[in-house]
Amino acid sequence: MNAAPKERGEPRAQPHRTRTRPTALPGTLTGELTAATTDRIIYNLTGIEHQYDSLRAELPATDIRFALKACPVDDVLHCLAARGAGFDAASPAEIEQALRTGVDPDRVHYGNTIKSDHDIAEAHRQGIRTFATDSVEDVTAIARHAPGARVFCRLATSGEGALWGLNRKFGCAPEDAVRILDTARAAGLTPAGLSVHVGSQQMTAEGWQAALDLLAETLTALTGRGIVPDHINLGGGLPALGYRDRHGNPLDPPLDKIFAVLREGMDRLRALAPVTFVMEPGRHLVADHGAVRAHVARLTHRRGPDGEDAHWLYLSCGKFNGLYEMDQLTHHMVFPGRPDPGETVPAIVAGPTCDSDDAYGAGLHPVRIPRTLASGDPVWILSAGAYATSYTTGGFNGFGPLPCVCVRAHNSPDHERP
């Protein structure tokens, strides 16, 4: 695995930085949101670059490979590639998009443990030489369709402490990892590494600690069998800071503690074998630097089947066109032009479609919103940059994908895509 590339001014570790939750919008986004008269999703490329730099400063000498599923927007990928990022891709189509940035194929890996024969062969044809795996069946197929490739084996984690656990479907036990990498070696592949994913939006340092313990145990077992991986892939899971929980309260992940646990764990692993480190952050790099401009469809007040009175705020944007993660979280909403705090009512916030899943927190948890909202009023939905464009449907109920705009700090739109 290549070492992390040298970049403009190698960043230095900053173990004790003070963080502010992004409640105030950077001027770049405010200007664009204020000017918008129609719905859109807006990315602040300057903010994404700063986020990347700050992660590099926290974890120096870690090779950052953006999990592009979190934001497959060409302008975002280009700006990260220009900064030195590689990519974690999950399919030949994602590999193709990553390579369009001009990044060397050596800086892209196939990070999905689920691959057909055809997809392995296609990735190999595209120049990809490093593949994730978690089964003997998959490793055997890689040996056949990508002969001589490098493989890293994903260990199963519990997903505890994360908003989305990503457990059960992926990863294997330490004993199986030894068997799988042994099989890889016998089949002419390079048993190159181990990986974990602690679950997406991991809210605890303990989640990382458990994964690092698992890696140490497996690395020891592997070196005991004469298999010495050259890298450890720490996966995604780093949290965004601007989300709110189902009740509208700010989520407050202990990011500084997480980084401290990671640095300590990496030192411990380096003492066991001469490994380098890769990380595949997705949401951490983009979530807080994307915002949605939507509008109010209607604020209603009606009695439900339980006889209870409830307000419902229906927005133009919901689960199927940009806010897929409504199941676990809510977003901070700004209603421009409305006094804050003005007169408010508790309302359940939902998207515009005829699907009852299209509501924050399964439609059970009201949050306070201005009482006088009217159809057409703009709403800004903050920290909405992760998984927004990738999870959006083609146009369920006719509500199509949001146009995407990328802006820079000097506040001129780079591009607008319909």
Ligand X SMILES: Cc1ncc(COP(=O)(O)O)c(C=O)c1O
The pair of three-digit structure tokens given for residue 408, joined into one six-digit string = 């820079």
Given 172, 317, 354, 406, the catalytic residue: 354
* Cα–Cα distance, 359 to 326 (Å, whole number): 7
| Smallest separation (angstroms) from ligand X to the CB of 386 | 6
Say whether residue 207 binds ligand X (CB under 6 A).
no
Instruction: Restricting to residues 83-112, name those near ligand X by CB under 6 A.
Output: 88, 111
Contact 200, 169 (CB under 8 A): no
Q: Three-state SS across 172-192?
A: ECHHHHHHHHHHHHHCCCEEE
| Smallest separation (angstroms) from ligand X to the CB of 378 | 28
Say whether residue 238 binds ligand X (CB under 6 A).
yes
Say whether residue 65 binds ligand X (CB under 6 A).
no
* Cα–Cα distance, 64 to 278 (Å, whole number): 6
Of 29, 42, 70, 388, which one interacts with ligand X (CB under 6 A)?
A: 70
Angle formed by the axes of helices 117-125 and 92-99, to 10°? 20
User: Is 317 labeled as catalytic in the residue annotation?
Assistant: no
Q: Cα 229–232–235 angle (5° rounding)?
A: 145
Say whether residue 58 binds ligand X (CB under 6 A).
no
Contact 42, 291 (CB under 8 A): yes
| Smallest separation (angstroms) from ligand X to the CB of 377 | 31
- Per CB under 6 A, the segment of 1-9, 173-181, 232-240, 296-304 that binds ligand X is 232-240
Spatial CB neighbours of 414, under 8 Å, sequence gap ≥ 6: 45, 75, 406, 407, 408
Sign of CA dihedral 72, 73, 79, 82: positive
- Per CB under 6 A, the segment of 143-151, 234-242, 318-326, 331-339 that binds ligand X is 234-242
Nearer to ligand X, 312 or 391 (CB): 391
- Per CB under 6 A, the segment of 7-15, 261-269, 276-284, 320-328 that binds ligand X is 276-284
Count CB-CB contacts under 10 A for residue 186. 11
Nearer to ligand X, 32 or 280 (CB): 280
Nearer to ligand X, 235 or 253 (CB): 235
Say whether residue 236 binds ligand X (CB under 6 A).
yes
How far from the centroid of its chain's Cα atoms is residue 300's Cα?
34
| Smallest separation (angstroms) from ligand X to the CB of 66 | 9
Contact 210, 156 (CB under 8 A): no
| Smallest separation (angstroms) from ligand X to the CB of 85 | 13
| Smallest separation (angstroms) from ligand X to the CB of 235 | 5
The pair of three-digit structure tokens given for residue 133, joined into one six-digit string = 């795996």
- Per CB under 6 A, the segment of 4-12, 92-100, 185-193, 282-290 that binds ligand X is 282-290
Catalytic center residues: 354
Residue numbers of the site for ligand X (CB under 6 A)?
A: 67, 70, 88, 111, 166, 197, 200, 235-238, 280-284
